[in-house]
Amino acid sequence: MTDHPQKQKWTDLATKQLKGKSPDTLDWMTPEGIRVKPLYTAEDLEGMEHVNTLPGIAPFVRGPMATMYSGRPWTIRQYAGFSTARESNEFYRKNLAAGQKGLSVAFDLATHRGYDSDHPRVVGDIGKAGVAVDSVEDMKILFDKIPLDEMSVSMTMNGAVLPILAGYIVAAEEQGVPQEKLTGTIQNDILKEYLTRNTYIYPPTPSMRIVSDIIGYCSKHMPKYNTVSISGYHMMEAGANSVLQTAFTLADGLEYVKAALATGMDIDVFAPRLSFFFGIGMNFFMDIAMLRAARFLWHELIKPFNPKNVQSLMLRTHCQTSGWSLTQQDPYNNIIRTTLECMSAVLGGTQSLHTNSFDEAVGLPTNFSARIARNTQILVQEESQVCHVVDPLGGSYYVEALTDGIISGARKIITEIQALGGMAKAIETGMPKLRIEESAARKQARIDQGLDVIVGVNKYKIEEKPLEDVREVTDAVRVEQVERLKELKAKRNAVEVQKALEHITRCAEGDGNLLEASILAIRARATVGEVSDAMEKVFGRFVATTQCISGVYASEYGNNTAVIDALRKRSQDFADKEGRRPRILMTKMGQDGHDRGVKVVATAYADLGFDVDISPMFQTPEETAKMAIENDVHLVGVSSLAAGHKTLVPQLIAALKAGGGDDIKVVVGGVIPPADYEFLFEAGAVGVFGPGTSIIDSANQTLNVLEKKHG
């Protein structure tokens, strides 16, 4: 290998400017384990297999289309949904009139988990983190005056994917649009639910059958429709770095390909309709490289199946900027963060994009913040001039080196997964989930130490008033949905509905296509919950085993353990006085499955000397109170990310009192608007920790509460 002709001259100059230190002292080791040097030259690209390729030509590193944005810009596809179908429909129509090009529907958590709005387990979830959809009547309102033969619609749905997709199909029919004209994407990516988001209903095996049935039906009847959107976004939000996100997402995709092939489908029938969904965070160049590496690796993984259609080998992706990177503190900084993440996705070659709103660290976006988020993309498209050149960073020494690093790292993990028998088997071992949780714990420890800077949170902090204009969805939405359900059931043909539901159950027991059966039931006005229950009779409802890693958070402090040691001493002093260590039950109530926060806090508190119990997912307040009392804990730590805290926390405190657990204190953390703090304190909470709170600070405050109580 021949060195760059002036490399020694640069080294000498850099050494002089560093006062005698080698330039190697500026090397940075990324969370992905990729060594980043302060300077890259042509020699760093020698031997790399992905360089010198062209866009639109295999292996598609530089983009799946030859002309990319110079021919057509990416689709602005904002993800939105809240409250009722009518409110969401008004929001969609305003956005479309203002320049948005496609729809991306967010459903509420009750809908995701296959519960109707009148189910007792979902009282705190209706319309809070998405739109409530109980039947095709809601779906018709959701798309009212939106021509479904002209509009591409993406729907993020996995657990209740059958009744929701069936509802969309029937709503289109009754709008006069046949199935073959529908365009868009259903996420239909159940494997990642067992890894991160947890909005599953059934166990993995029958869930994979549902995925295959949807692929089979849509390949036959809906040739323009994308049948699976394989999601890495939620892995990133749960803590996965770019290598983990790439490896696990592509391994999920490979599992779906094998499942479809096992049913006898030809690779070229369904593979061109697969799409991907990646999350884009604040590591600007790394995430550009991630999208380029993912396209290369997907081509490599699909090529052995010998497809005849070149589109079977192309990775096409939607991207979304990070919600986790948004901060409650100094929130207008989030506009800048989202702009950087937007540029990263664009320079990486995304096909469509959602940009988050600056207020989403504390609640659903307002009309004002949503307009800024949408206009971020419009400005980049119309004013930055990035659309004139295909892959403008292609050939960048640094970007190509990072691309190679991600290819290498992700390839090793994919090989490890295949040795375990594929992604479904790997999930059963717990390996992917634990890797992601370890990555999240290490990241949080670095933030708490100030090693990873979050402007406004752990550096450059300012005194400020919290955001006052925060969208709140009240319990009136649930009342309205319950009334609509009563009206639906009073008007429909109950015998016809029951017959259709029994057909679904028989189909689940044996042969037949479950989507086809679900469409018949939805036409008859069966509800989302009823269709889900008809399959649950055969498949059962999946209950995950909750486990927690240990030692990772504290180990990231290295030799700088003074704050760790101080908290451990306080925990030990409490144990010496009370006869046992401080004990806390960490819980998530309601149907929110995003468990990054609760897992990281549980891991850290255990490292700080607490005894930590973790409740199963999806607890009711009564179930949480019962577990807290039986486990004789001092505290319950409630993690809330889906706006149910004003309903669920008071119910928990009431249940603790009713069960004789008056002395058990409650602290609350998560996505909680500052305006709600006083409400929670008045309800009986003794601590409220909003986004960006250092775990060290929260542990100190929690111990203060215990020490005060126990004198």
Instruction: Enumerate the active-site residues.
Output: 79, 233-234, 588, 592, 594
* Helix or strand (DSSP H, E) at 700: helix 695-709
First-to-last C-alpha distance (Å) of the chain: 71
Q: Are 213 and 513 in contact (CB under 8 A)?
A: yes
Which is nearest to 208 in space by CA: 260, 166, 277?
Answer: 260
Coil, helix or strand for 661? Answer: coil
Distance (Å, whole) CA 359 – CA 335: 9
Least Cα distance to 159 among 120, 122, 118, 123 occurs for: 122
Cβ-contact 157, 525 below 8 angstroms: no
What distance in Å separates the CA atoms of residue 119 and residue 112, rounded to the nearest whole number?
A: 13
The tokens describing 341, both together, are 């993440």
**H helices present in 450-527, as ranges:** 476-491, 494-509, 514-523
Rounded Cα gap, residues 594 and 671, in angstroms: 11
Residue 371, SS3 per DSSP:
helix
Q: Which residues contact 487 (CB under 8 A, 6 or more apart)?
A: none
Alpha helix positions (H), 98-187:
109-112, 136-142, 161-174
Q: What SS3 string covers 585-605? A: EEECECCCCCCHHHHHHHHHH
| CA–CA gap between residue 459 and residue 692 (Å, rounded) | 12
Collapse the DSSP code of 708 into the 3-class scheme (helix H, G, I; strand E, B; otherwise coil) and give the result: helix
Distance CA 212, CA 206 (A): 10
